[in-house]
Structure 1
Amino acid sequence: MSLYKKLFQQTFIYGLATVLPRALAIVLVPLYTSVLDPSSFGVYATLMAYIILGNVLLSYGMETAFFRFLNKDGNKKSLVQSTALTSITITSLAIFVLAYLLKDQIANLIGFDERYVVWALQILVLDALVIIPFVWYRANEKPLKYAFVKILNVCINLGFNLFFLLALPILDKGNLETFWGAMRLVDYPVDFIFKANIIASGATLLMVLPLYFKIKFKFDYALWKQMMRYAFPVLIAGIAFSINEAFDKILLDYLLPEDIAETEVGVYAACYKLGVFMTLFATAFRLGIEPFFFNHSKEANAKETYALITKYFTIFGCIIFLVVMVYIDFFKQLLIRDEAYWVALSVVPFILLANLCLGIYHNLSVWYKVTDRTKYGAYISVFGAIITIVVNFALIPIISYKGAAIATLAAYGSMMLTSYFLGRKYYRVPYEVKKIGTYLMVATGFGAVSFYVFDRNLIIGTALLLVFLLGVFFIEKKELKQIIKK
């Protein structure tokens, strides 16, 4: 199988496994927005933002360190796996116990009921305990097993969401003394969302548990210190990324007046979901490309390959951007049926572009990963986080969630450009900058014309999309034929 075909196949399988969990978020948006008012949806979105930050803290860069040390010294492959598994298991359980003992203080600090803190802790520890098994699947090129477990997790989560939110209220008939009524331990729909998540995460851990016996618990302190030195900058970068990705919801809740904060977070978070199409594409691509970067870093034409992959990632990303922009009225009615949420639709172009910039950044990040300069990844991410915080503080009090959307684009755009210029110094990849820049500018221009100038007119928008597609085809036709033949 050719290099590109293998990359495409693995990216497709990993992408499917990654897209489906995130697609679950899209599928559930109509359900959540029909049973939750914007204020309750804001509570859900804010707590999920804290969970995103918690996921980063509990993984602390060990996933990337696992890949790097697995390829760095083949003789220590088994020891690397065992040390990573032991480390994640011990720290996850220890943090869970400590946080549970301090749950009252944590609840007061973040302003949530104690039960939400406990449920969030359960989700965090269960998700942390499957990190190494999933990395093991990827490192050992077992995408089908990876995909099977991920997809089953989605099915379980979706099934219990539908049961709790739709079936159970019908079955219990409002009588808590019946069998079905006894299952309704809470009265708020948002509570059931977290319970469904816990059940799905617990089932996933049971499915990957056999890998614990295959990898086995073994700990090499000297190796662990080396892995942690590599992982620490990745952790810092991860924290910064979580700030860029989720902190806007927290800051909206903090900076806006109390009487409107949760509602503003709710409408913003719902419309933010329309940008998930770009996130799905970028995340799926990253999962397939990260092992590829490491495995082929020593090839003679590695840099040329990286450049080609980045160009086509940008092209596909631009197409996704235009499709969502042109047909956004269809997507909003499909995913967010309650018109009360549509007031925040103006954030979608910014979120789509922001996620495209983030995807390009992940492609550009190859230079510091294969040269063991992960500290620069941390520097860039912290730089992006600073921009996120500063712009949010500056704009949210003035223009509410629009300021949060602008801050996201400013952060990811800055990170993309910074990584490119630093990469030219330490690991110069021959990117086709003019072409990539042109595609980005044309797609952005066409999207803006369709969305703002012609007020989402379908005929004009479709015509602009076709012009872009034809332009790409004629410009890249010769190269595409060569790639397909390989």
Structure 2
Amino acid sequence: MNPLKRLASQTAVYGLSSIIGRFLNYLLVPLYTYTFAPADYGVVAEFYAYMGFFAVLLVFGLETGFFRFRAGGEYAPDVVFATVLRFLVLMNAAFLLAAYLLQQPLADLLRHAANPQYIWWTAAIIAMDSIGAAAFARLRAEEKALQFAGIKLIEIGANIGLNLFFIVLCRQSFEADPHSLLGQFWDPEIGIGYVFLANLAASALKLLLLTPQFRAGLAGFDGALFRRMIRYSLPMVVIGLAGVINEMLDRAALKYLLPGDDATNMAQLGIYSASYKLSMLMTLFIQAFRYAGEPFFFSYAKEQDAKRVYALVLTWFVIFCVFIFLLVTLYLDVFQYFVGADYREGLQVVPILLLANLLLGIYVNLSIWYKLTDRTLLGAGVALIGALITIVALWFLIPLYGYEGAAWAHLLCYAAMVLISYLLGRHFYPVPYDLLRVIGYILLGLGLYVGHQELIAQLDWNRWLIATLLMVSFLLVVLMLDGRRLRRALV
């Protein structure tokens, strides 16, 4: 199959599962924001930020290491998988035990002393997801995208179903009659904690569905392979942790950096996190691309036209991301109803976050230079620079501008990482990226967004009509400039 067709088809399958699944998860945002106060929703945002850090740490970068050594041909694929799996099971079991024993001191430290169970529940979710990451990597390497997507959708469906069961059915039954059958499943003291319980049960179901993949773990642990793999993979942990800092530290830090008291700051965190969810459509596409792109870049690297294909991939990636940017920003008056009225004051950060995520996606494309040349330490250096920029920007901007400063910190970080990664890539693995098109499409998207704001202010036209005309204009420009190139590339 044509390589671009293969990448597009794999991205479509991963993307369809991600978009459908995350869209269904989107329906939980209205549920939470129409049911719980911003301060309560802030608790979920805070703990999910912590989960992001540990989810990276407890996979140890071995997903990428698995792809690297499986594709190298030196070791049997089942041996590579078994080596990864056994190590992850051991380390995550130790983590889970430590979290159980230390849940109260950790809850005291995080100012959640009344709910130490949040620590244990969160740790159990992280451990199961980290072990499951090995099985999902095996499915991706074997290009079993449909099986991957099916399990993901079942997990998401279970999570959504349990949220609706507890927060809607059981809560309403409790309010009508606390002694009713369903009412007895609702405990007001747990409240927002049912979000964690639903996730915990869904993660357990996912691990059960992945059980057939774990049979390959019987192949045995190869110590020599593990030493090579961990040396390659550990810098990926640094890269991953730096990535989580760039993506999630804002939600962990807002409670501590905003000038208000804990209750006020948690409410601001809840508002910002709900607005952040509206930028998730861009993140969905980037995640789908990552699932398909990482194994594709490794498997296609030995082809003579690899660099030309990588350049085309970036151009079309940017076109799709600009389309998503325009879709959300031009129709933001529609997307706003995904969150409750108490949360809509934060909508001004959505365009900033969308643009930041677009730059993150470009960085994902550019990062092939260190993965394909085994210069993961240099890649870690770029990620650390980005993390440092994030930390400094959050420290200075949040006290001055509140959660809007957190959004600008994202944009500053990813812009710097794109520039540094591009310059290093030119030296170590030069790819003939079409900078004129890439930058031109981004500027076109920004221009249409600004034009939309000006037209709404100056013309008494229907907002949707103006948005639709601008969207059609963008698509016509793409069709005229690149429609023929795309058809030729996919032949």
Q: What CA deviation, in whole Å up to 9, does each residue of 1:434-480 have, x standing for no partner?
A: 11111111211221332467359433333332222211111113212
Other-structure match for 2:400: 398
Distance 2:165 2:172 in 1: 10
Distance 1:308 1:5, change over 3 A: same
**Aligned with 1:326 (options 325, 330, 352):** 330
* Distance in 1 of aligned mates of 2:346 and 2:455: 18
CA contact (8 A) 1:49 1:249 kept: yes
Matched, 1:261 2:265: yes
1:288 aligned residue (285, 292, 299): 292
**Structure-2 residue corresponding to 1:70:** 70
Match runs of 1:88-237 below 5 Å? 88-112=88-112, 113-173=115-175, 175-216=177-218, 218-237=220-239
Counterpart of 2:275 in structure 1 is: 271
Contact kept? 1:17, 1:151, Cα under 8 Å: yes
Match of 2:489 in 1: 483
2-structure distance, mates of 1:265, 1:310? 34
Any idea what the Cα deviations from partners look like across 1:384-407, whole Å, max 9, x if unmatched? Answer: 111111111111111101100000
Q: CA deviation at 1:126?
A: 1.4
Which residue of structure 2 lines up, in the alignment, with residue 472 of structure 1? Answer: 478
Q: What CA deviation, in whole Å up to 9, does each residue of 1:320-374 have, x standing for no partner?
A: 11111111101112x11x2211101110011000111011110111111111111
What is the aligned partner in structure 1 of residue 86 from structure 2?
86
Aligned to 1:356: 358
Give the 5 Å matches for 1:439-450. 439-450=441-452
Contact 1:252 1:396 in 2 (8 A): yes
Within-5 A mapping of 1:360-379: 360-379=362-381
Deviation at 1:239, TM superposition (A): 0.6
Alignment match, 2:34: 34
Question: Secondary structure, in 3 states, of the residue corresponding to 2:430?
Answer: coil
1:60 aligns with 2:75: no
1:59 is paired with a residue whose SS is coil
CA distance in structure 1 between the partners assigned to 2:55 and 2:158 by the alignment: 21
1:39 Cα offset (Å)? 1.0
Aligned AA for 1:351? L
Q: In terms of mean alpha carbon deviation, does 17-26 or 255-264 score higher?
A: 17-26
Cα deviation, residue 413, structure 1 = 1.4
- Cα gap change, 1:75/1:239 in structure 2, threshold over 3 Å: closer, same or farther? closer
Secondary structure of 1:244's aligned partner: helix
Q: In terms of mean alpha carbon deviation, does 150-159 or 182-191 score higher? A: 182-191
Identity over aligned pairs, percent: 38
Mapping for residues 401-412 of structure 1, pairs under 5 Å: 401-412=403-414
Q: Distance in 2 between matches of 1:217 and 1:478?
A: 49
> Do the aligned partners of 1:62 and 1:231 also contact (CA within 8 Å) in 2?
yes
Q: CA deviation at 1:4?
A: 1.9
The secondary structure found in structure 2 opposite 1:219 is coil
Q: Is contact 2:82–2:219 with CA below 8 Å preserved after alignment? A: yes
Q: What SS does structure 2 have at the residue aligned with 1:299? A: coil
Alpha-carbon separation, structure 2, partners of 1:117 and 1:228: 28
Query: Is residue 455–residue 466 contact of structure 2 (8 Å, CA) maintained in 1?
Result: no
> What residue is the counterpart of 2:317 in the other structure?
313
- Does the 8 Å contact 2:25/2:156 carry over to 1? no
Alignment partner for residue 383 of structure 2, among 353, 361, 381?
381
Contact 1:325 1:451 in 2 (8 A): no
What CA distance in whole angstroms lies between the structure 2 residues aligned with 1:108 and 1:391? 28
Distance 1:175 1:286 in 2: 48
Q: Which residue does 2:18 correspond to in 1?
A: 18
Structure 2 distance, partners of 1:317, 1:85, is 34
Amino acid at match of 1:224: F
C-alpha contact (below 8 Å) 1:271/1:348 kept by paired residues? yes
What amino acid is the match of 2:333? D
Q: In the alignment, is the contact (CA less than 8 A) between 1:85 and 1:217 conserved in 2? A: no
Query: What is the TM-score normalised by the length of structure 1?
Result: 0.96
**1:377, CA displacement in angstroms?**
1.8
Judge conservation of contact 2:82–2:220 (CA < 8 Å) in 1.
Answer: yes
- Mean Cα deviation higher: 3-12 or 170-179: 170-179
For the 8 Å contact 2:78–2:219, the answer to whether it is kept is no
Task: Name the SS of the counterpart of 2:128 in structure 1.
Answer: helix
The answer to whether residue 308 in structure 2 is matched with residue 299 in structure 1 is: no
In structure 2, give the amino acid aligned to 1:2: N
In structure 2, C-alpha distance between the alignment counterparts of 1:75 and 1:248, rounded to whole Å: 41
Q: Distance in 2 between the 1:462 and 1:175 partners?
A: 49
Partner secondary structure for residue 428 of structure 1? coil
Greater Cα offset, 306-315 or 457-466? 457-466
Distance (whole Å) between structure 2 residues aligned to residue 180 and residue 243 of structure 1? 40
| TM superposition shift of 1:210 | 2.1
Instruction: Give the alignment's Cα RMSD to 1 decimal.
Output: 1.6
For residues 175 and 125 of structure 1, the distance between their equivalents in structure 2, rounded to whole angstroms, comes to 37
Displacement after TM superposition at 1:285 (Å): 1.1
In 1, Cα distance between the equivalents of 2:284 and 2:335?
A: 15
CA distance in 2, matches of 1:251, 1:122: 23
Rounded Cα–Cα distance in structure 2 between residues aligned with 1:339 and 1:184: 26
Shift of residue 14 of structure 1?
1.4
1:216 counterpart SS class: helix
Q: CA deviation at 1:111?
A: 1.8
The DSSP-based 3-state class of the residue aligned with 1:189 is coil
Contact residue 60 and residue 234 of structure 1 kept, 8 A: yes
Deviates more, 1:104-113 or 1:237-246: 104-113
Residues 1:451 and 1:57: Cα distance change in structure 2 (over 3 Å): farther
Equivalent residue letter for 1:157? N
Q: Secondary structure at the match of 2:279?
A: helix
Q: Could you report, residue by residue, the CA deviation over 1:55-77 in whole angstroms, capped at 9, with x for unpaired residues?
A: 11111101110000101125432
Deviates more, 1:389-398 or 1:471-480: 471-480
| In 1: Cα distance, 2:127 partner to 2:24 partner | 21
Which stretch shifts more, 235-244 or 94-103?
94-103
Q: Please report how far the alpha carbon of residue 162 of structure 1 lies from its aligned counterpart in structure 2 after TM superposition.
A: 0.6
Match of 1:461 among 457, 467, 481: 467
Aligned residues: 483
**What is residue 5 of structure 2 aligned with on the other side?**
5
Structure 1 residue ranges without an equivalent (≥5): none
Alpha-carbon distance, 1:173 to partner: 4.6
